[in-house]
Amino acid sequence: MGEHRMGRFRVWTPLLFSFILIVGMVLGFNLRDTLRNKRDIDAIIQRNDRLEEIIDLINAKYVDSVDGNVLYSDAISGILSHLDPHTVYIPADKLDEVNEDLEGGFFGIGVEFSIIRDTIQVTSVIENGPAEHAGVEIGDQLVKVNDSTVAGRQVTSARIMKLLKGKQHSRVYVTLRQPLTGRIKQIPIERDVVPVFSVEAGIMLDSITGFIKINRFSATTYEEFAKALKKLKAQGLKQLVLDLRDNPGGYLDDATNIADEFLDDEKLIVYTKGRHTQRVDYNADRDGMFEKGKLAILVDESSASASEILAGAIQDWDRGIIVGRRTFGKGLVQEQYEMEDGAALRLTIAHYYTPSGRSIQRSFAKGKEAYEADFTKRFENGELTGTDSFASADTTHYYTAKHRLVYGGGGIHPDVYVAYDTARLSATFLNMIYSEELKNTLWDYFIRHRDVLKFRNVRAYDKEFAGEDDIVAAYMAALSESSRLIAKRILQEPEHNAYFRLQLRAQLARLLFHDNGYYYINTQKDNVVQRAIQTLDNNNNYLKIIGG
């Protein structure tokens, strides 16, 4: 019996020692990691203590007075200068302002205004907003906000916005003057949510071509886009021009949700991955509202991030054509982390990749200055003004679904290249179009003639409006003698004259029909929009481009 027990002991002894050895190794590794983490934490504390000590010494001993907050801010800037150009620190006093555009709204009274001759003129009243309910009208002049006078040379848009914004359901008293009668009225307005729209326009350009302009991807962009697309489909939409020019990006989810309206069969839209983050795939997962019609996406050198994700997915699946100029080249994903003092850090945590596997992030190896000077470089080498001279930094070959060759490493390259219209790049000519004199002339014309500027819609306005000559004459009369001579010389050129008149009609249309009116008129001479429409209308050319 004893020998039997000893035999069993000899059999189990090696296994027991092995088990003890394994447990010891596990404990050892865990203890090592714990100690290493402790050393890392100690090192971090020491580094923080050193920073505190240096700033305390400067405050206590430095020869001149120094703002400690500025020193901290500079220290943060120094740290971030070693990272990518899109990792940014947002101070607490700037965070609300930065977040407003992306969140899609703020608390205010719901008006748009313009400063004309040192006076705040209400140029638009948001439908069903607090101001409309309180009786504010387009053309009213804002004289006071509560007890603060808001007129004169010192008035700024930032100051007015600060006075009009406030907590939800708080009350503000505005004093308004009616411009023609001079009647003064004081109105109490209860602040509420004021939407910040990211879809600027959704209109039919002709009987089958719709146009949607998105200026950024905010928390409400997909909802706005879906509403606009549904409305255009009801008006006969067969082909769509989606304008993402000057769109810096924003929320990834809104871009992928819009892509889902164009792509079918659970197609991959984009994927992200980073050193500390696993790969995440974003796929089409529902029936889209526009999976079959012809599609053109407009891009330029200011289309970035989420705009490039959407354009890249459409291009890689040969779902539509990309028209314009090479995009910005931002293929990095940021996540926002709130700081204890109310500030925030937007930290790059991953790269994103289009369905074909390409990263379109431009190199920032030469530093932020060179990175930010890319626009100037593109202009100087002729890429923006007539030479489609894109030289890819990433020479790896990527292929679309129909085996079209595409490249990464420098933005999304368009399928149909359209250069800047250099005839309209003259600084003097642009100064005329966006001058205070023209803005004031148009506003005066609108106020004086608003009772007769009654048109059924923007199409009727486009056909029937006949006041251009009067506006041009009033504009010329408002100029100094020297400026008038320059303006006359410029407008002697037929092309400049036609474009100038189109722009004044477009700006007046914005007062009458909001942004939809402006874009309906302006797109008539927009060379990128017109090239997109020509390509969509030519079925053979369209199919040839997308590999059909």
Q: Could you give the residue numbers annotated as active site?
A: 305, 316, 330
At residue 362, what are phi and psi to the nearest 5 degrees? -70, 150
Q: Is the dihedral of CA 353, 354, 355, 356 positive or negative?
A: negative
The distance of Cα 161 from the centroid of its chain, to the nearest Å, equals: 21
Crossing angle for the helix pair 494-522 and 436-449, to the nearest 10 degrees? 60
The position carrying tokens 């021009």 is 241
Residues 110, 187: contact at Cβ < 8 Å?
A: no
Amino acid at position 300, single letter: D
State which H helix or E strand residue 341 sits in.
none
Q: In whole angstroms, what is the distance from residue 358 CA to residue 103 CA?
A: 30
Helices and strands per DSSP (H, E), number in the chain = 18, 21
Residues 106, 194: contact at Cβ < 8 Å?
A: yes
Total length of the chain: 548
Q: Tell me the CA distances in angstroms from 526 to 195, 299, 423, 499, 501, one per residue in order.
A: 28, 13, 12, 10, 14
Q: In whole angstroms, what is the distance from residue 358 CA to residue 309 CA?
A: 11
Q: Which of 474, 547, 463, 448 is nearest to 509 (CA)?
A: 463
Would you list the DSSP string of 244-310?
-TT---B-HHHHHHHHHTT--TT-EEEEEEETTEEEEEEE--S--SSSSSEEEEEE-TT--THHHHH
